[in-house]
Amino acid sequence: MAPVAGHKEKEEKMKTIILGTSGLHVPAIAIGCMRLNGLDKTKAQHFIQTCIDLGANFFDHADIYGRGTCETLFAEAIGMNPLVRENVILQSKCGIRPGIAFDFSKEHILASVDGILKRLNTDYLDALLLHRPDALVEPEEVADAFTALYNAGKVRVFGVSNQNPMQIRLLQKYAPLPIAVNQLQLSITNANMISQGLHVNMLDDAAVNRDGSVLDFCRLNDITVQAWSPFQYGFFEGVFLGSEKFPKLNAKIDEIAERYGVSNTTIAVAWILRHPAHIQPVTGSMNEARIKDCVKATEITLTRDEWYAIYMAAGNTLP
């Protein structure tokens, strides 16, 4: 699939952020590819091209998504070649051996990246994340793997997912390359990393610091937080938009959406983007209309009152 004419002009309209301290400018919205294998090749091709046309050319993969089939389908659908590769930003993750173990050994990381590159039909990844923490991590091995991948030109930027500050500091003690990304679950209804910062010195449940102030840590260390499942409540219990479980939240989102003349999806993403940490939402939808609504959020800046009204409508409280 060759990039359409005028692609670069369209892409420049998308708001961008810098990924950590890497200097890499990326779209403010990342496209999650976990469900890509639910599309056939033709639909996948159209979906990917739509994202590129919108300037949303940052694609987030993982070696466990469809057990590799999502990466393979992506490369086939996009018709991967050097020219096409220049027009997309590719991120993938490794470290999970489903049902067996988390594995951050040097051997596993190197083998995983080779498999990812083969499936994506490319020589390099723009970013590689370690997928969830490994209790048996030996940070020296991770450092050796990162160094080998960087020196070989196979990975340009490194990051983690679902890690707390101490786990990141442990890796960073040995890794010569900075951790640029931490991918964490965040949505209006899963906002513990925000709420615990508002309930400091309180005795209520919201005051419990469950993640080591990871949001503040990432801001202090110029680590980009990527928000996965921006529409989910619970772990993967469902989407809060339109859910009868969240009547007050949906009423408030719909009210603000009408004010701006946009969809509820747009407002849900705009809520995340309003935070000054420059959080990068990672979408999970394969619906092109919803992706367009997500991208629209980059054009909206909620007021402080609107942001807090949504926060409280989700059941969060202010002390």
Which residues participate in catalysis according to the annotation?
A: 65
Q: How far apart are CA 256 and CA 247, in angstroms?
A: 14
Q: Match 């949001």 to its residue by tokens.
A: 215
Q: How far apart are CA 165 and CA 254, in angstroms?
A: 36
Amino acid at 241: L
CB 280 within 8 A of CB 242: no
Q: How far apart are CA 194 and CA 317, in angstroms?
A: 11
Q: What are phi and psi of 71, to 5 degrees?
A: -65, -45
Q: How far apart are CA 187 and CA 192, in angstroms?
A: 9
Which residues, listed in sequence order, are joined to residue 159 by a DSSP beta bridge?
Answer: 129, 181
> 86: which residues sit within 8 A by CB, 6+ positions away?
none
Determine the distance from the C-alpha atom of residue 252 to the mean position of all C-alpha atoms in its chain, rounded to a whole number: 25
Radius of gyration of the chain from its Cα atoms, rounded to whole angstroms: 19
